[in-house]
Structure 1
Amino acid sequence: MKKNKTMIFLFILPTVLCLLFMYVYPIVRTVIMSFFKVESLTASTSTWSFYGLQNYFKILRNAGFISSMKNMVMIWLVGGIITMCLSMLMAVILTSGIRGAKFFKAAIYMPNIISAVALATMWIQYVFNYDYGLLNQIVKAFGGENVRWLGTDLIFWAMMIAFIFGSVGYYMLIFISGIEGIPQDLYEAATIDGANILDRFFQITLPLLKGVIRTCVTFWSINATTFFLWTKMFSPINTETATIVPVVYLYDTVFGGKGVVERDAGAGAAVGVVLTLIIIAVYVITNLILKDSDLEY
C-alpha cells in the first residue's frame, strides 16, 4: 500500500509542479503586482513600490479602458445572443432528421478548423475589401456605391460578424451533443399529445439544455474577455478605439502601444485581475439564473 502511495505521488508530482509554476505562481504574482507600481514585467520585486488601489483607479479613469470595456460588453451581449441563437437554431434543425445532416455539420464547423488569422484575412481581403470585396460587389450589383466596411463607423461590426461566423459551428456542436442526449420518447409522446414544433422546443428542448446553455455562456464569456487576435487583425498597425478590447488595452499598457507614454505593468496586472473577476461573476450569475431543474428523463 505504501509503495502504491509512493508511486501515485511520483506520477502526479510533475503535473502538480507544472500547475504551481505555470498557473498558480503567475496568478498570485499578477494579483500582487496589481497593488504595486511596476514599470516592467521583468523588474525585480525590490524595485516595486506599493501603490494600493491606485492602479485600479487609474484604469477606471482611462478613456481607452472604458472604450475597451464597452466594446467587450457589446461583443459579449450582442455577439453572444446572435451566436447562441444561430447555434441553437442550426443544432435543432440538424437533429430533426433532415437529409445531409452530416455534411451540413461539417460545413458549418469548417471555420473552426481554419486558422483564425487565415479566417480574418479572408473576411478583410475578400469580403470587406473596398475595391473588390464580395459585399461591395453585391452593393454595386444593386446600383449602390462602395461602402467602407473597414472604416471607423463600421469596422467594429465587420469584426464582430467575422468573429460570429467563426464561432457558430463550435457552439452548434455543443448544442447538438446536448439535444442528442434527450430521449426521443419525450418528443414522440409530446407529438402524440398534440404539441407542435415550438411547443416541443420550449417545453422539452430548452428546459433540458440548461446545463449545456450554462456551459456555452461560460465559454463565450471567456472568449469575449480574451478577445485579442481579431482586434489585431482588423487594426494591424495602430489599435483603433472602435476595435480595442481590454486584453489589447492590457497588452498596449504593458508592452507599449497607441497613446501609451510610459509602460505600466502594474496597471496591466490590474486589468487582468478585473477581467478574471468579470468571468467569475458571469459564471456565478449564470449558475444562479440557470439552475438545474428537478427534471427526470
Structure 2
Amino acid sequence: MRRAAKKKRNPELAREERAFWLFISPWALGFLLFTGGPIIASLFLSFTDYNVIDAPNIIGLKNFVDLFHDKLFYKSISVTFYYAVLSVPFTIISSLLLAVLLNNKIKGQALFRTLYYTPSIISGVAVSFLWMWLLNPDFGVVNSLLSQWFGIKGPGWFTKPNTVIPSMVLMQLTSIGGTMVIFLASLQTLPSDLYEAASIDGASRVKKFFRITVPLISPVILFNAIIGIISSFQVFTQAYVITKGGPDWNSYFYVLYLFNTAFAQFRMGYASAQAWILFIIIFALTLLSLWVSRRLIYYEYDSKR
C-alpha cells in the first residue's frame, strides 16, 4: 500500500507563521548579536587571559581562583550586599506607602501620580548630579535647611565612610516611581467588598492594610523585591559619578569594580569571570527569595490556602 499522503498545510496558517518569523526577526537578530552572542563570548573569555589587543590565551579556572583571593572582590561584594540590605526594604516600603496614598480619590489625583512618577524616567547621571548638589556638606540644600531650621550640623553624606551608602539609598526617592506604579496597579484590582465587610466589623485602616491589602498584593511585593535585588546588585552610575568608589572604598560597588577591571585595566578575561560570578549570585538570591516566600505569598488560585 502506498503511504498516506501528508495532510496539506492550511495556507492561511502558513502565511501567519511566515509573518510571525518576519516580524520577530529584528528582535531575534538583535538578541543573537547584542545579548546571546556576548553572553556566550563572555563565558569563553572567563577561561582566558585576554587584553583586547592580543589573542585570548586559555588559562582554565585561573581567573575564578584569583578572584576568590582578591581582597577587592570581597570588599565590593560586601559593599553591594550592604547597599541591597538597605535599599530593597526602603524602596519597597516607600513606594508601597506612596501607592496607597495615591490610590485615594482626591482632587488632582492624576497630577500627583504624574509628578511622583516623572523623576524615575530621568537619566541616572542627571539624578546623581542633582543629589550631589542637594547633599553637598558645604553648600547643599539639605544641610542648609538642617542648620537654619533645626540648628543641626548636617552629616558629610557622600564624603564620610559611614554615611555614603545610606546617602545612596536615599537617592532611591527619585527612582521609586516605577515600583510605585506597579503597586498602584495592583491596589486598583483589589475587591472593594472585602474592605466594606472589614469596615462593618469595625476594622481600622491599619488593620485593613495589614490583614487585607498586604496579603492580597504579596505576589507583587515579591516581584518588586526580586527586581529590587537585581537592580541593587547592578548599581554603577551613582558611585561612578559621585564617589568613584570612595571614601576608603566604601562605595566601591561590584559593577564599578567590574567596569574598572574591563575598561581601565583591559583585563577582559578576569572581568568576564567577575560577570559570571555576579550572575550566579543574583540567580542564587532570586531562587532563595522564591523559596523563602513560598509560605508568605498569597495566591488567589492556591486551593491549599
Q: Shorter-chain TM-score: what band?
A: 0.7 to 0.9
In the TM superposition, residue 288 of structure 1 has moved relative to its aligned partner by 2.4
Instruction: Tell me which residue corresponds to 2:234.
Output: 226
Distance (Å, rounded) in 1 between the aligned partners of 2:97 and 2:110: 16
Instruction: Tell me which residue corresponds to 1:217.
Output: 225
| One of 164, 168, 193 as aligned partner of 1:159 | 168
| One of 137, 145, 148 as aligned partner of 1:138 | 145
What does 1:17-36 align with in structure 2 at a 5 Å threshold? 17-36=29-48
Does 1:61 find its partner at 2:69?
yes
Does 1:10 find its partner at 2:18?
no
Distance (Å, rounded) in 2 between the aligned partners of 1:170 and 1:6: 36
In the TM superposition, residue 192 of structure 1 has moved relative to its aligned partner by 1.4
| One of 274, 279, 283 as aligned partner of 1:276 | 279
Does 1:293 find its partner at 2:298?
yes
**One-letter amino acid matched to 1:114:** I
Distance (Å, rounded) in 1 between the aligned partners of 2:280 and 2:173: 28
Q: 1:18 to 1:103 in 2, by over 3 A?
A: closer
CA RMSD of aligned residues (A): 2.5
**One-letter amino acid matched to 1:173:** V
The answer on whether the counterparts of 2:219 and 2:298 sit within 8 Å (CA) in structure 1 is: no
Secondary structure of the 2:157 match is coil
In the TM superposition, residue 248 of structure 1 has moved relative to its aligned partner by 0.7
In the TM superposition, residue 113 of structure 1 has moved relative to its aligned partner by 2.8
**One-letter amino acid matched to 1:284:** L
The answer on whether the counterparts of 2:96 and 2:180 sit within 8 Å (CA) in structure 1 is: yes
In the TM superposition, residue 98 of structure 1 has moved relative to its aligned partner by 4.3
Which ranges in structure 2 are unaligned for 5 or more consecutive residues?
1-9
What does 1:27-176 align with in structure 2 at a 5 Å threshold? 27-40=39-52, 43=54, 47-125=55-133, 127-141=134-148, 142-145=150-153, 147-153=155-161, 154-162=163-171, 164-176=172-184
- Of the two, which has the highest radius of gyration? 2
Distance (Å, rounded) in 1 between the aligned partners of 2:266 and 2:169: 29
Distance (Å, rounded) in 2 between the aligned partners of 1:167 and 1:189: 36
Distance (Å, rounded) in 1 between the aligned partners of 2:180 and 2:230: 17
Secondary structure of the 2:159 match is coil
Instruction: Tell me which residue corresponds to 1:259.
Output: none
Q: 1:173 to 1:55 in 2, by over 3 A?
A: same
The answer on whether the counterparts of 1:71 and 1:242 sit within 8 Å (CA) in structure 2 is: yes
Identity %: 27
| TM-score normalised by length of structure 1 | 0.86
Distance (Å, rounded) in 2 between the aligned partners of 1:107 and 1:70: 35
**One-letter amino acid matched to 2:167:** A
| TM-score normalised by length of structure 2 | 0.84
Secondary structure of the 1:73 match is helix
Q: CA-to-partner distance for each residue in 1:53-93, whole Å, 9 max, x for gaps? A: 22122222222221211121122111111111111111122
The answer on whether the counterparts of 1:210 and 1:290 sit within 8 Å (CA) in structure 2 is: no
Q: 1:161 to 1:185 in 2, by over 3 A?
A: same
Q: 1:101 to 1:263 in 2, by over 3 A?
A: same
In the TM superposition, residue 193 of structure 1 has moved relative to its aligned partner by 2.3
Q: CA-to-partner distance for each residue in 1:22-81, whole Å, 9 max, x for gaps? A: 2111111111211222223x65xxx32332222122222222221211121122111111
In the TM superposition, residue 207 of structure 1 has moved relative to its aligned partner by 1.5
Which ranges in structure 1 are unaligned for 5 or more consecutive residues?
257-261
Q: 1:229 to 1:194 in 2, by over 3 A?
A: same
The answer on whether the counterparts of 1:232 and 1:239 sit within 8 Å (CA) in structure 2 is: no
Between Structure 1 and Structure 2, how many residues are aligned?
286
* Worse-superposed segment, 262-271 or 226-235: 262-271
Distance (Å, rounded) in 1 between the aligned partners of 2:147 and 2:22: 68
